Amino acid sequence: MEDVDLSAERFEKYREAGRILRETLDAAAEKVEPGASHLDVAEFAEAQIEAAGAEPAFPANISIDEEASHASPGRDDESEFHEGELVCLDVGVHVDGWIADAAISVDLGDHTDLIEAAEEALDAAIEVAGPGVHTGEIGAEIQDVIEAYGYNPVVNLSGHGLAEYDAHTNPTIPNRGVDTGVELEVGDVIAIEPFATDGGGTVSEGQKTEIYSLRQERSVRNRRARELLEEIVERYDRLPFAARWFEGARTDMTLNRLTQQNVLESYPVLKGPDGTKISQAEHTMIVTEDGVELTTD
């Protein structure tokens, strides 16, 4: 195995991103209460990141009940939190492209066991993770804990590697035991994120889309689309962005046009069946010689 200098500048930036994310996530979670606005909490988190001298690695995700991922409020979103909901906050930070990614679940109802299932699954995964450990073994730990609570892991969502300006790269960290996968190596930076549900264990795409990323830069005929694309390339050429980060009454229509032309990638909200609940827990970590170092703890 190749020697890796874990004190190198990029690892220090991973650590700084993790520290900022931990402070941001804790502060944002305190603002999640009945009557509070989804948009206010998302914008608060993103502003906190920027005030700390970093940048969001992706738009703040606020998932409610059956929603699992890619749920971020729109620019005119008037949604509020309500008593009884299960709320998941998933936030990313980057320092010069080096990323931290973490999530917590906030209980506005009576979902203690479901939240604990995801949190304990994450703890078990962290305990076993280290150099030479197969990713399928980590998934098996996650599955065992969640099923012991009487719930199901969301099996078509997974943890992932983190690289420079890339929030989802190899290795994939499954949320169930599988034979395929790879062994972790010293210097890998990974986000492990168990999802637990009282539903069947899979999610699918919903109708709502607020998050996009640049798929390819190419010539477009429409003037407004061309102007927006130029702004996207200048500001967000390597990481996802929110529709609400752009001004203009026709922005959403233009984003849809660019998506249809295969210029942008869209990320519809991923959700389980109506009436189900999904909890999430996530940490970013560096694989070390003797285990892992959490950057978002």
Active site residues: 90, 101, 160, 168, 193, 282
Q: Is 27 within 8 Å of 51 (Cβ atoms)?
A: no
Q: Is 91 within 8 Å of 103 (Cβ atoms)?
A: yes
What separation in angstroms does the CA of 203 have from each of 76, 268, 271?
26, 11, 5
Q: Is 12 annotated as a binding residue?
A: no
The dihedral built from the CA positions of residue 93, 159, 172 and 154, taken in this order, carries a sign that is negative
**Dist CA 50 CA 12 (whole Å):** 18
Alpha-carbon 99 to chain mean position: 11
Q: Is 134 annotated as a binding residue?
A: no
CA quadruple 130, 131, 137, 143: dihedral, nearest 10: 30
Alpha helices, H only, 129-175: 135-148
Q: Is 90 annotated as a binding residue?
A: yes
Q: Is 70 annotated as a binding residue?
A: yes
Give the residue ranges of the annotated binding site for a divalent metal cation: 90, 101, 160, 193, 282
Give the residue ranges of the annotated binding site for substrate: 70, 168
Give the residue ranges of the annotated binding site: 70, 90, 101, 160, 168, 193, 282
